[in-house]
């Protein structure tokens, strides 16, 4: 590939020219670019001198043979007539001029792109300083000069000083015209100027901050457009994993905006914008947000319980995502104690997580153990209680989407398994029902039957109308065992 030809259309500086084959020969782009230009210039210059020497001696025979590259192809048809002695000398003279002209032109394009050592051979314009060479370079437009780099470094440092972080990554943003130019001059071994700027600015930032570059999972991505010096920080979220226990009934798992105003605040919600005063999410997130000084948060539970259902036992797994935190390290024990003092929600097993944990949570179906208090319209005998156990244990339940959620869930029939059942009488019409079952089984409907949408159900087995009086989640099991 003749990359020298690119200089005709684009006067690339040494550094940019070297980047055209940045993936070969381990040296700096500047050295590589300058060396290729020099080697080519030396080749052209020596050719020029030897041709001129031969020309002066009137010894033209070898010119065609040695200089096929520099012969105008359009003249090929004239070569037949070169045997005509009269025409011979004139044609040789014309060819010679063309060859010399082409070599001089190529040399000119190399000079123009800043090879100072041989300037002026053609008496053309001069490029007297390196600075000019870079300013005229259409690719880098001198973004690598010291002042520009320093301005960007200062700008980045002043934005970063508000944040705690251990690692970062520079993300260079190229203007459209530079992207287009890279498409036009692309070679198979080219390095994008984005990669070089990432590297150069990354090194400067490491030196000035003592932090490390992390390409996989940086705390902060520093997005820089080096051409207009615009800098933007993308502060990545932190993730806190843990389990929560909900000790009281009547609060939802996540923030619940007011139905009337959708969160704006109205008379119905006392201008809070919320349907419920608080939620598991808010009780857990507020102390975290205070310490980590995040901009926003997002709460991801491994499933959710109804508002009137308690979450007991070892708790339900959750991940709290804290967005754009200014602080990334804190004493989780202290935050835990603060949450647990709320009396309504407790957290345990707090630790730092990663983004993937959120996806894992959403896709992992957890088996559950529930404790329901069942209230029957009529008295229930002991035999009937045993029948409930016998009929539900190790059985498959066909459950059509419950009426109460059918407005927001697709109407379909799910099959879930019940593994283990225990009953415990409270009074003639009331008993406790403990169930170990697949995640996703609606327990209230398993008891009521939901107008025969759930089969079998406690109501159906007893042939008596039953309902779930209270419900607790006793355990969210980690593995399906
Ligand atoms: Zn350049
Ligand atoms: Zn409202």
Which one of the ligands is nearest to 274 CA? 2
- Structure confidence at residue 119 (pLDDT): 45
pLDDT value of position 481: 43
Rounded-to-integer distance, Cα 73 and Cα 234, Å: 56
Q: Which ligand is nearest to the CA of 34?
A: 1
- The span from the CA of 12 to the CA of 127, in Å, is 13
Residue 68 bears catalytic tag? no
pLDDT given at position 109? 86
Measured from the alpha carbon of residue 16, the closest ligand is 1
Ligand 2 centroid from CA 257, angstroms:
8
State the pLDDT at residue 357.
82
Closest ligand (CA of 259):
2
Ligand 2 centroid distance, CA of 270 (Å)? 7
Q: Where in the chain is the domain with CATH 3.30.70.2510?
A: 238-363
Q: How far is the CA of 293 from the centre of ligand 2 (A)?
A: 27
Distance 255 CA to ligand 2 centre (A): 13
Which among 311, 282, 302 has a CA at the least distance from the CA of 353?
Answer: 302
Position 1 scores a pLDDT of 52
Q: What angle do CA 101, 105, 110 make, to 5 degrees?
A: 150
pLDDT of residue 457: 97
* CATH 3.30.2130.30 location in the chain: 146-235
Helix (H) or strand (E) holding 184: helix 176-185
Every domain of the chain with CATH number 3.30.70.3190 lies at 368-476
Of the bound ligands, which one is closest to the alpha carbon of residue 272? Answer: 2
Q: Is-contact 255 279, C-beta < 8 A?
A: yes
296: which strand partners?
323
- Ligand found nearest the CA of 261: 2
Contact 392, 461 (CB under 8 A): yes
Cα 416 to ligand 1 centre (Å): 65
Rounded to a whole number of angstroms, the distance between the first and last alpha carbons of the chain is 63
Instruction: Give me the helices (H) in 313-462, please.
Output: 332-340, 356-363, 382-392, 443-448, 458-462
Contacting residues for 173 by C-beta, under 8 A, at least 6 apart: 223, 224, 225, 230
Cα(464) to ligand 2 centroid in Å equals 41
Q: Count CB atoms within 10 A of the CB of residue 19.
A: 28
Q: Which of 306, 427, 450, 472 is catalytic?
A: 306
391 CA from centroid of ligand 2 (Å): 46
CATH number listed for the domain at residues 238-363: 3.30.70.2510
- Compute CA distances 37 → 3, 33, 164, 373, whole Å: 10, 6, 46, 86
Structure letter (DSSP) for residue 274: B
Ligand 2 centroid distance, CA of 411 (Å): 30
Q: What are phi and psi of 62, to 5 degrees?
A: -85, -10
Q: What are phi and psi of 384, to 5 degrees?
A: -65, -35
Per-residue pLDDT of the chain (481 residues; tens, 9 = 90+): 578 889 888 989 889 999 998 888 788 999 999 899 889 988 998 988 888 887 766 655 555 555 555 544 444 444 443 344 444 455 666 788 888 888 888 888 888 887 764 444 455 555 444 456 666 789 999 899 999 999 999 999 999 999 999 999 999 999 999 999 999 999 998 999 999 999 999 999 999 999 999 999 999 999 999 999 999 999 999 999 999 999 999 999 999 889 899 888 999 888 989 989 899 999 999 999 999 999 999 999 988 899 999 999 999 999 999 999 999 999 999 999 999 999 999 999 999 998 888 877 666 678 999 999 999 999 999 999 999 999 999 999 999 999 998 888 889 999 999 999 999 999 999 999 999 999 889 999 999 999 999 999 999 999 999 999 999 999 999 864 4
Q: Give the CATH architecture of domain 146-235.
A: 2-Layer Sandwich (3.30)
Residue 178 CA, ligand 1 centroid: distance in Å: 11
Say how many Å lie between the CA of residue 135 and the centre of ligand 1: 8
Give the C-alpha separation, 120 to 263, whole Å.
Answer: 73
Q: Which candidate, 475, 367, 388, places its Cα nearest to that of 431?
A: 388
CA distance to 43, 151, 166, 207, per residue, from 230 (Å): 43, 10, 23, 21
Fold of 368-476: Alpha-Beta Plaits (3.30.70)
């Amino acid at each position: 590939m003749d990359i020298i030809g690119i200089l005709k259309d684009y006067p690339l500086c040494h550094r940019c020219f070297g980047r055209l084959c940045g993936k070969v020969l381990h040296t700096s782009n500047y050295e590589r670019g300058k060396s290729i230009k020099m080697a080519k210039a030396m080749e052209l210059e020596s050719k020029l001198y030897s041709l001129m020497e031969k020309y002066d001696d009137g010894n033209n025979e070898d010119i065609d043979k040695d200089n096929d590259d520099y012969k105008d192809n359009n003249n090929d048809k004239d070569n037949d007539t070169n045997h005509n002695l009269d025409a011979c000398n004139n044609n040789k003279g014309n060819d010679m001029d063309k060859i010399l002209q082409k070599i001089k032109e190529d040399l000119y394009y190399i000079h123009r792109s800043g090879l100072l050592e041989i300037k002026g051979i053609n008496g053309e314009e001069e490029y007297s300083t390196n600075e000019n060479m870079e300013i005229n370079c259409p690719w880098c437009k001198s973004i690598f000069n010291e002042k520009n780099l320093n301005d960007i470094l200062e700008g980045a440092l002043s934005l970063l000083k508000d944040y705690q972080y251990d690692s970062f990554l520079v993300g260079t943003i190229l203007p459209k015209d530079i992207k287009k130019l890279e498409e036009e001059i692309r070679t198979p071994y080219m390095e994008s100027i984005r990669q070089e700027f990432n590297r150069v600015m990354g090194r400067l930032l490491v030196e000035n901050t003592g932090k490390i570059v992390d390409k996989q999972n940086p705390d902060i991505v520093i997005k820089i457009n080096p051409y207009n010096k615009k800098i933007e920080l993308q502060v990545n979220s932190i993730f806190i994993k843990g389990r929560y226990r909900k000790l009281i009934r009547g609060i939802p798992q996540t923030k619940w905006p007011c139905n009337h105003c959708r969160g704006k605040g109205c008379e119905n919600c006392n201008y809070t914008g919320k349907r419920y005063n608080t939620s598991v999410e808010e009780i857990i997130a507020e102390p975290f947000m205070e310490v980590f000084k995040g901009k926003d948060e997002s709460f991801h539970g491994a499933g959710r319980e109804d508002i009137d259902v308690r979450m007991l036992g070892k708790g339900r797994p959750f991940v709290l995502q804290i967005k754009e935190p200014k602080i990334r390290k804190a004493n989780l024990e202290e935050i835990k104690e603060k949450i647990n003092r709320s009396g309504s929600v407790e957290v345990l097993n707090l630790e730092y997580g990663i983004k993937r944990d959120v996806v894992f949570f959403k896709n992992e179906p957890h088996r559950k153990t529930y404790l329901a208090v069942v209230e029957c319209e009529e008295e229930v005998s002991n035999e009937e209680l045993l029948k409930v156990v016998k009929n539900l244990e190790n059985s498959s339940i066909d459950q059509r989407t419950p009426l109460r959620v059918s407005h927001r869930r697709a109407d379909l029939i799910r099959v879930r398994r019940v593994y283990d059942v225990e009953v415990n009488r409270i009074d003639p019409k009331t008993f406790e029902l403990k169930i170990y079952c697949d995640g996703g089984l609606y327990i209230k409907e398993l008891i009521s039957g939901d107008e025969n949408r759930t089969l079998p159900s406690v109501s159906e087995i007893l042939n008596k109308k039953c309902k779930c009086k209270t419900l607790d989640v006793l355990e969210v099991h980690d593995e399906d065992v």
